[in-house]
Amino acid sequence: MIKIICVVGPTAVGKTKLSLKLAEKLDGEIISADSMQIYKEFNIISNKSDLKIKQYFVDFVSIEKEFSVAEYVKLGGECIREVNNKNKIPIICGGTGLYVDSLLNNINFLSFKLDMELGKKLFKLDNLELFEKLKKVDFEISQKININDKKRLSRALEFYISNNFPISEHIKNSKKNKPNYDITKIGLNYENRDALYEIINKRTDEMFKEGIVNEIKSLKNKKISKTAEAAIGYKEILSYINEEVDLETCKKKIKQNTRRYAKRQITWFKKDKNIKWFYLGKYSNFGELFIDVFDFINEKLR
């Protein structure tokens, strides 16, 4: 049985910082479960950290390439086995719930039919229309996909129409045959939602100071993939660059969309009763948090 540590939670709570420290102390390697940090060109926008400890799926593909959950599950399973074969501990770290659940349950998305022509037609609909249609046939999955993520909204709807049952049902059925993993799940969050939102707002301001506008400007002539353009901040900053909105409106929209995304992440992870939650407001510094998390994990790994 492969022992795995999993660190999850909403954006901006310090999942990567905790995972890096755990990897250092426990001789582990990090497998990122962040659907935007996989892109090489997304540095500031995806809030990447340093790479002193190996992190799989960070700077993994170009923004010009489509990258699916199915690919992530296949390659992620190989990464887990590779890390385990080195006698190291795989540490899954990220806030993309669909990536985390699909990888840990080895959900196969490749064995079902999809209609490419239907997919093209669906993709021509706007995001809100896709969301409303998906909500009617698969409410559960509609609440788990970022409304900016047109590719995944259309793909989930395409799955339903092509197979005559919702993708959320397929995910539930797949979980009945879980791989042989012994998983310790850690969740980070704030008990006070306003505290989280304040951190998100501050981080957004920091991203602008670090040069996120120039980062997006440098990508303007690239053919960005549908999955990459779902990144919160990308379309908003393009609107600013194209002089469709002013800077303050752009910042406000990014903060608003990030807060909404964090709320959906919390809703997703709260359904998993196997997650041990640590609330950041209870700790005066990172060291205190780490001691509690480390002690809990050590007990589980014995």
Binding-site residues, in ranges, read: 9-16
CA distance 246 to 16: 32
CA distance 48 to 42: 8
CA distance 265 to 75: 23
Sheet containing 55-56: which strands, arranged edge to edge? 55-56, 28-32, 89-93, 2-8, 181-189, 275-279
- Taking each continuous run of H as one helix and of E as one strand, the counts in the chain are 13, 6
CA distance 273 to 290: 22
Close Cβ partners of 216 (under 8 Å, ≥ 6 residues apart): 45, 233, 234, 237, 238, 241
- Is the Cα dihedral 73, 79, 85, 87 positive or negative? negative
Q: Which residues fall in the annotated binding site for substrate?
A: 11-16
Q: Which residues fall in the annotated binding site for ATP?
A: 9-16
| Residue 68 · residue 227 · CB < 8 Å | yes
CA distance 278 to 197: 17
Q: Using alpha carbons, list the distances in angstroms from residue 135 to 9, 37, 142, 211, 272.
A: 24, 28, 5, 37, 22
Close Cβ partners of 280 (under 8 Å, ≥ 6 residues apart): 13, 14, 188, 189, 190, 195, 289
**297: three-class secondary structure by DSSP:** helix
| Residue 106 · residue 45 · CB < 8 Å | no
